[in-house]
């Protein structure tokens, strides 16, 4: 008992210290949204060839456990082979070349109404005066919490 008396202060502090680690009562969103082009209408698919002057509907399916917030689509050239997609398949890339007038598409959109599933559907006309070759197409989506998911696809623009 003498021992307890001697170390009472220490024990007290340890008990206080360990009891401090309380649990979270409110729930926080720990899930990222998801994004996929792996369904029939998903567009573009890996190694898709896009024709100049044509109009395409870029489609991807996004979902979240709570509420979706925004999405974006970015099309840029990969003439220098600086990156590759994350679809698991590899396309044959054309020889490395410089850019003269590459196609750049960068747009952001909001998803209103706190939806948990949504189909991205963006209509893009490929201009006639741009460089043909390897392009990179990336989708990204955020939820209301600020979690983000991305996916990217290698495509080609041809004459």
Partner 1 sequence: MLYKTLSLWLFFSLSTIAIAQNSFQIKGSVISKNTLQPIEGATIIGENLHAVSSASGTFNIHNVTEGTYSFTISHLGYTSKTVNIKASINGEYLKILLEESTTQLDEIKVNGKTKNREHKESPIVSQLVSKEFLTSNRENSLMQTLSKIPGVSTIKIGSGQSKPVIRGLGFNRVAVVQNGIKHEAQQWGNDHGLEIDQYGIENIQIVKGPASLVYGSDAIAGVVDIQPNAIPLTHSFSGEINLLGESNNDLLGISAGIQARKTKWFYRGRLTYRDYGDYKVPTDHINYENYIFTLHGNNLRNTAGKEANASISVGYISNRITTETTISNVNAKNGFFANAHGLEVRTSRIDYDQSNRDIDLPYHKVNHFKITNNTSIALDKHSINLDFGFQNNLREEHSEPIPHGYMPTPSNSKERSFQKNTLSLNVKDAFTIIDDHHIVTGINVEFQDNNIGGWGFLIPEYTRFTIGAFAFDQFEINSDLHLLAGVRYDFGQINSKSYFDWYPSTINNANGSTSYVYLQRAQDKTLNFGNISASVGLSYILNHTTFKINVGKSFRMPLPNELASDGVNYHMYRYEQGNLNLDPEESYQLDIDIDHTTKDFSIGVSPFVNFFENFIYLNPTSNYYETLQIYEYTQNKVFRAGGELRASTSIIPNLKLDASAEYVYSKQTSGPKEGFTIPFSPPLSGLFSASYQFKDIFFFKQPQLSADYRITAAQDEIVPPEEQTEGYQVLNMVLLSNINVFKTQQPLEIKFKLNNVFNTKYYDHTSFYRLIDVPEAGRNISIALTQTF
Answer for the pair 68, 111: CB distance below 8 angstroms, yes or no: yes
User: Does residue 28 touch partner 1 according to CB under 8 A?
Assistant: yes
144 binds partner 1 (CB under 8 A): yes
Beta carbon nearer to partner 1, 21 or 40 = 21
The token pair at 29 is 């969103």
Residue from the set 47, 48, 84, 131 that interacts with partner 1 by CB under 8 A: 84
CB of 51 or CB of 97, closer to partner 1: 97
Q: How many residues bind partner 1 (CB under 8 A)?
A: 50
Buried residues in 79-116 as b, exposed as e (16+ CB within 10 A):
beeeeebebeeebeeeeeeeeeebbeeeeeeebeeeee
Residue among 54 and 112 whose Cβ is closer to partner 1 = 112
C-alpha angle 32/41/49, rounded to 5°? 105
Q: How far is the CB of 153 from partner 1 (least distance, A)?
A: 11
Identify residues 111-140 at the interface with partner 1 (CB under 8 A).
138, 140
């Amino acid at each position: 008992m003498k021992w307890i008396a001697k170390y009472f202060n220490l024990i007290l502090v340890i008990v206080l210290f360990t009891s401090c680690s309380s649990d979270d009562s409110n729930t926080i969103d720990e899930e990222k949204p998801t994004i996929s082009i792996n369904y029939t209408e998903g567009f573009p698919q890996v190694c898709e060839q896009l024709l100049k002057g044509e109009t395409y509907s870029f489609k991807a399916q996004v979902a979240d456990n709570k509420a979706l917030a925004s999405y974006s689509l970015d099309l840029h050239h990969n003439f220098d082979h600086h990156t590759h997609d994350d679809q698991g398949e590899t396309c044959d890339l054309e020889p490395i070349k410089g850019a003269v007038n590459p196609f750049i598409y960068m747009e952001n959109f909001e998803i209103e109404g706190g939806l948990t599933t949504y189909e991205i559907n963006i209509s893009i006309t490929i201009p006639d005066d741009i460089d043909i070759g390897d392009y990179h197409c990336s989708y990204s989506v955020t939820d209301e919490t600020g979690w983000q998911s991305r996916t990217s696809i290698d495509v080609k623009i041809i004459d």
